[in-house]
């Protein structure tokens, strides 16, 4: 992921709403980092004391040009993804890239289905099969062209929350995980176990059981999933979101204008977090004890 390229400048130039949201995000980032740097400014959190405790308290609500922040529905998909990464940062998250199998995508297009929604539902299905109610939230942005404008296979760049899973007694990776537990502790090994299971689910969603060479395109399908080995815990990683959205302004015959997809639980949590930032601690009344 070449995150050092300033994709954000192009996004802001193309979309005034993203430009506004980027200014809000910069103010939020400044508010949070000043609070973190001043322990004396931290307040006692009486309600949900561990939820976003790193940056809650005296800094919220914040305003934009002297006015109340816009409501959730008025935010750009780019900003909603930024809020989602803040939510996911509570436990750590992993970026991923996924190509739906060309034969699957070809079938979806022939049946006039929404490829973005189908992919989101497939990923959710395979995560729940393997992780049940502990399945993590995720979002992604789908594209079918390169930054240079060349047409490419439809694929998605996304972020998914990390969860811990018990170390399997047998099977692929079990011996490596047990060794990791002995050397670096059970907690780290269980987090790695969860990461490995997420990748298995992503591969299944991409069509791992289908032909290794797609009948529709003749293209090899063995590298349809990429993940990052080390999780992100940083509060802000706007460059990754910039990267994911970098080609969304390009016209596509099959993807439409909205390239952004997010699971409903993550969307709800990101929306509640935005309420906290927009309205302060009073917004936590929306969270039931």
Mean pLDDT confidence for 130-154: 89
Closest CA to 269 of 1, 112, 74, 72: 72
Residue 229 has pLDDT above 80, yes or no: no
The answer for residues whose C-beta is within 8 angstroms of residue 45's C-beta and 6 or more apart is 53, 56, 57
Tokens found for residue 33: 């980092």
Which of 54-63, 67-76, 173-182 tops mean pLDDT? 67-76
Per-residue pLDDT band at 169 (split at 50, 70, 90): confident
- DSSP state for residue 84 in the 8-state scheme: H
Characterize the bridge pairing of strands 93-98 and 225-227: antiparallel
Does residue 253 or residue 2 have the better pLDDT? 253
Two structure tokens written together for 70:
């816009």
pLDDT at 64 over 50: yes
For the chain, how many helices (H) and strands (E)? 9, 7
d(CA 137, CA 254) in angstroms, rounded, equals 26
- In the structure, what pLDDT confidence band is assigned to residue 1 with cuts at 50, 70 and 90? very low
- What is the average per-residue pLDDT within 199-205? 96
Rounded CA-CA distance 254/143 in Å is: 10
Q: Give the per-residue pLDDT at 2.
A: 45
- Sign of the four-CA dihedral 275, 96, 207, 78: positive
Task: Dump pLDDT digits (tens) for 18-55.
Answer: 999 999 999 999 888 887 656 555 556 666 667 787 77
Please tell me the pTM assigned to this model. Answer: 0.89
Give the orientation angle of helix 16-37 with respect to helix 77-88, to 10 degrees: 30
- Average the pLDDT over 112-122 and give the result: 95
Tokens 């080390």 belong to 230
Residue 285's SS3 state is helix
Integer angstrom CA distances of residue 176 from 132, 181, 200, 220, 229:
24, 9, 16, 29, 15
Q: How high is the pLDDT of residue 3?
A: 47
6 falls in which pLDDT band (50, 70, 90)?
Answer: low
């Amino acid at each position: 992921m070449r995150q050092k390229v300033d994709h954000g400048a192009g996004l802001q130039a193309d979309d005034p709403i993203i430009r506004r949201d980027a200014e809000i995000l910069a103010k939020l980032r400044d508010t949070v980092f000043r609070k973190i740097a001043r322990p004396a400014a931290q307040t006692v959190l009486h309600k949900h004391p561990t939820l976003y405790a790193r940056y809650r308290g005296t800094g919220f609500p914040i305003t934009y040009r002297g006015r109340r922040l816009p409501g959730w529905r008025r935010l750009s998909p780019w900003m909603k993804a930024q809020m989602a990464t803040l939510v996911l940062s509570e436990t750590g998250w992993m970026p991923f890239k996924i190509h739906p199998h060309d034969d699957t995508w070809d079938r979806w297009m022939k049946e006039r289905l929404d490829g973005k929604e189908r992919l989101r539902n497939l990923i959710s299905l395979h995560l729940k099969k393997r992780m049940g109610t502990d399945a993590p939230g995720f979002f992604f942005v789908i594209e079918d062209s390169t930054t240079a404008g060349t047409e490419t296979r439809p694929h998605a760049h996304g972020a998914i929350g990390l969860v811990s899973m018990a170390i399997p007694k047998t099977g692929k990776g079990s011996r490596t995980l047990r060794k990791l537990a002995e050397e670096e502790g059970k907690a780290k090994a269980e987090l790695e176990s969860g990461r490995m299971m997420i990748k298995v689910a992503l591969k299944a969603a991409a069509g791992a059981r289908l032909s290794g060479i797609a009948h529709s395109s003749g293209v090899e399908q063995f590298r349809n999933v990429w993940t990052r080995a080390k999780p992100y815990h940083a509060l802000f990683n706007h460059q990754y979101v910039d990267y994911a959205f970098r080609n969304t302004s390009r016209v596509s015959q099959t993807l439409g204008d909205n390239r952004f997809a997010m699971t409903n639980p993550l969307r709800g949590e990101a929306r509640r977090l935005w309420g906290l930032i927009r309205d302060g601690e009073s917004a936590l009344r929306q969270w039931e004890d």
